[in-house]
Structure 1
């Protein structure tokens, strides 16, 4: 009997992760790792793709490049999600980095579904790419994210946009016109950042669906990007302020607000393939999630120690080696990074990210870039070029090629500059890359282009070192002081990832969604 009880106790203490079922889905715009069944993973990835197509159809956005700048999504059990977050009130988070954008979600939410969280954050991502040089004020950025977050996927494949966010009902009830007027003429969180979610949703809904205001939202965006102030642009696009306020109040009092269904035939998606993780991926996935979510020095030590023996066990698994390369890089174990990268390349030569880790390790191993001799810089560039031959649209490798000249104290030649610009074209959502692009444009005497690149960052509703610097550069350009603009941009180009734009009130540049509380689209949404 004692032996039986001992065996029962043994099985009870086996970690849940030992039995966890993980699948990977690949589609045009997403890579999804889900701790769900294969069928659920397929459905989740397909709905994400339909959402992408639905928003593009609703807003008239270009199709984008399939397979380029995909967002990696980790969908995990709640206990694992809580391990990588600092608060139980976070319903999911997203952040951009030099190696791409990634979102982290629990399989179950508290007050808002994981899907709504991701729809909100992916809206930010989508517009930062599709409108890479278009500035929009904070209320509109958050308003569109909130409007799209409540999208409803129907069983017939259509998608409904415009449902009221139930988690904002209380704050919507307490809105007044003075708050909305103040929001229209201010852009930073000084005026109360959370009004941008509530009033932003209402204004965006009104300007999207009210037929009397048709076209005014586009006119407003054009006015802002033509040099008008926020107040001037509002008057140009919306007309008399008092009438606008009264019309909005009447719209809000309506018995039901309109919604629109984008028909299934307008949101046809590409192939979504789902597979179980390899044994090496499955063994390392939870540590890889911890690593990609961001680690401090102590956490980096823990992740490195856990992954090192697994990297030996699964030495022929490319993605297990990639996970260890990242952990070793965070730990500063650059020799291990290079070994892991070489193993990954041998197993899968098409995996561009491991070439980037190898090149970065070669750059970071010496005390400073000044200690790297010319021959080593040539070797570093060979690694980068080999990676680009395997993965030509890898934004991190394109930027690293440019940086290999800048960090060596050598003026980047024309191909290096072209690769920087291509990196920004692929991944404009990453603030340090945006700043580096603006700096190169200013160096080339292209102040107007640099200003256009920086204005979306300068317009961010969330204050950060990057947004403040962007505003200083734009102001200097407007004042004709290009020397000051260039000097300020140089500081930004040298800033590291820690200078990324923090969003939605959380540190570490994570866009966080908390759990608090047009033409041609004629299908009725009931």
Structure 2
């Protein structure tokens, strides 16, 4: 991964990134313009297919998903894991700075579509589910859904083919020990003991999803199961009530694997809505892309320091570029206290704003830095907190469709230790609506609802995070907190009623 960043800095002329903008995506790629346009068209057509399937309204997305296409699957794997040898070929991150996905441009094909396309369609399946199909989906179905739609392809006349076999899972399904349906239903992929077992988990999740979508004998069972999960029914009861005997479900699943699998082709061509524009980046932007990927993917100070040092070199090369100064400030500020140079971070963000006073993310970062300064004061005043909010408000006025300033504005009141006013809660609600896949915004909004006594709505939001297979358990802890808050409020209300009755007696 460090090699990607070093190449970008040492020889920017070799790394000619292009940017494609469409209704729903911003795509960065070092490939040819023709390949990028073809890829963008397929991705927009895939999005339109999912919208058609799930009756989701289209149009220009004010908060499009950013996608980075790197050369090879191994490059994506290094970004995801920080080391070579990873089996990961792409990944999706609902990052607080903005959701993004990384895939690759390799043309490796195992029957049907290129693996790079399947990888990105899988990751976009996660994004689409999080953003447009909100629900407390169990882990196996989250992965099964993404796998099921990953193999989608299009005929020459633009018709969508959905439900094709995912041949890359064949080896695990046919040669590795099978995961029983009952285990699959109640385990998460991270609970698997090794990568081989995880591969089987993904394969069996796809197979079960395919069967429940297409087997006439089980039509309607998946909907009944998901409805029960959403209502908070115990997962085992929801499964047995909907699917019947889980041992029989497992037998049916094993038989289904050996049957010819049908897929569906839409009657009409799937149209691409909106234009796709492609342009080259400036030299500074071009050099920054690999380092930004390093920064966004960093899981600790070692990689963040490499990104920061790379941006330092770029500020010497492009001293008049506000974006480079912001990236340096963000990388410096995101280091842990042991390695962070607060003065250097503040200097970098000040330089970014001197060049571009309305730089949205630099203004938000300045507000974040000012928050730390005010929190360190023993006698902070309302005027101090108003100064914190000033650059954040400017960021929101500059781009009212960016959810980051809206969330940041809400957090200033929480950090101040006061109840956020209605305008801040309304802003947080808009931030959540613009990017509901953002776990931080979702949980902040859930607690805002709970603090307003809307516990059922808050718990519905939190339950989605608690079920997420990529969450490390944090969602379950937050869900438990909200349930305790509701129990306390209900107990307090009942106690008040009892006091009132005693008083009346």
Q: TM-score, with normalisation over the residues of structure 2?
A: 0.82
Separation of aligned partners in 2, 1:344 and 1:43: 36
User: Are 2:243 and 1:227 equivalent residues in the alignment?
Assistant: no
1:269 to 267, 273, 290: 273
1:345 aligned onto 2:339: no
Query: How big is the shift at 1:140?
Result: 0.7
- Residue pair 2:160, 2:269 contacting (<8 A) in 1 also: no
- Structure 2 residue aligned with 1:456: 464
CA contact (8 A) 1:56 1:63 kept: yes
Are 1:73 and 2:67 counterparts? Answer: yes
State the secondary structure of the residue aligned to 1:94: strand
CA contact (8 A) 2:45 2:270 kept: no
Structure 2 SS opposite 1:44: helix
Whether 1:24 aligns to 2:19 is: yes
- For 1:336, the equivalent position in structure 2 comes to 347
When structure 1 is superposed on structure 2, of 334-343 and 76-85 the one drifting more is: 76-85
- SS of residue in 2 equivalent to 1:97: coil
Give the C-alpha shift of residue 259 in structure 1.
Answer: 0.8
- Structure-1 separation of matches of 2:155 and 2:378: 58
CA drift of 1:258 comes to 0.8
Alignment equivalent of 2:286, drawn from 278, 282, 285: 282
Q: Which moved more, 1:394-403 or 1:112-121?
A: 112-121
> What is the aligned partner in structure 2 of residue 41 from structure 1?
36
Matched, 1:165 2:151: no
Any stretches of 5+ residues in structure 1 without a counterpart?
1-13, 485-526
Q: Whose RCO is larger (CA < 8 A, sep 6+)?
A: 1
- Root-mean-square deviation (Å): 3.2
Q: Alpha carbons of 1:365 and 1:29: their partners in 2 closer, same or farther (altered >3 Å)?
A: farther
Greater shift, 386-395 or 65-74, is seen at 65-74
Task: Check whether the contact 1:143–1:196 (CA below 8 A) recurs between aligned residues.
Answer: no
**2:398 counterpart residue number:** 390
1:407 is paired with a residue whose SS is helix
CA distance 1:443–1:253, change in 2 (3 Å): same
Q: Find the residue that maps to 2:89 and give its secondary structure.
A: strand
Cα deviation for residue 416 of structure 1 reads: 0.7
CA positional deviation for 1:244? 4.1
Aligned residue in 2 for 1:136:
137
> Could you say if the C-alpha distance between residues 187 and 105 of structure 1 is closer, same or farther in structure 2, counting changes exceeding 3 Å?
closer
Kept in 2, the 8 Å contact 1:75–1:107? The answer is: yes
Partner SS, residue 261 of structure 2: coil
Secondary structure in structure 1 of the residue aligned to 2:356: helix
Are the equivalent residues in 2 in contact too, given 1:341–1:358 (CA < 8 A)? no
Partner residue, 1:101: 99
The question of 1:437 aligning with 2:442 is answered no
Match of 1:380 in 2: 388
Residue 421 of structure 2 corresponds to residue 410 of structure 1: no
Instruction: Judge conservation of contact 1:23–1:35 (CA < 8 Å) in 2.
Output: yes
Could you tell me whether the CA contact under 8 Å between 2:447 and 2:482 is conserved in 1? no
Q: Are residues 30 and 65 of structure 1, via their aligned partners in 2, closer, same or farther at CA, if it must alter by over 3 Å?
A: same
Equivalent position of 1:306 in the other structure: 310
Give the direction of change, closer, same or farther, for the CA distance of 1:309–1:86 in structure 2 (3 Å limit): closer
CA offsets 1:119-163 (integer angstroms, 9 cap, x no match): 11211111111133x111111111001111122233322222212
Deviation at 1:115, TM superposition (A): 2.2
Question: Using a 3 Å threshold, how does the CA distance of structure 1 residues 182 and 481 change in structure 2: closer, same or farther?
Answer: farther
C-alpha contact 1:95 1:101 (8 A) present in aligned 2? yes
Q: Tell whether 2:208 aligns with 1:197.
A: no
1:154-213 Cα offsets, whole Å, 9 max, x none, are: 332222221222221122225888711232355685476735412210111011122333
- Distance in 2, matches of 1:344 and 1:466, equals 40
Q: 1:145 to 1:445 in 2, by over 3 A?
A: same
8 Å Cα contact 1:98/1:395 also seen in 2: no
- Structure 2 CA distance for aligned equivalents of residues 91 and 82 of structure 1: 5
Give distance in 2, aligned partners of 1:427 and 1:342.
Answer: 26
Please say if residues 57 and 267 of structure 1, whose CA atoms lie closer than 8 Å, have aligned partners that are also in contact.
Answer: no
Tell whether 2:429 aligns with 1:427: no
C-alpha distance 377-477 of structure 1, shift in aligned 2 (>3 A): closer
Q: Is the 8 A contact 2:12 2:286 kept in 1?
A: no
**Of the candidates 217, 220, 223, which is equivalent to residue 218 of structure 1?**
223
For the 8 Å contact 2:139–2:189, the answer to whether it is kept is yes
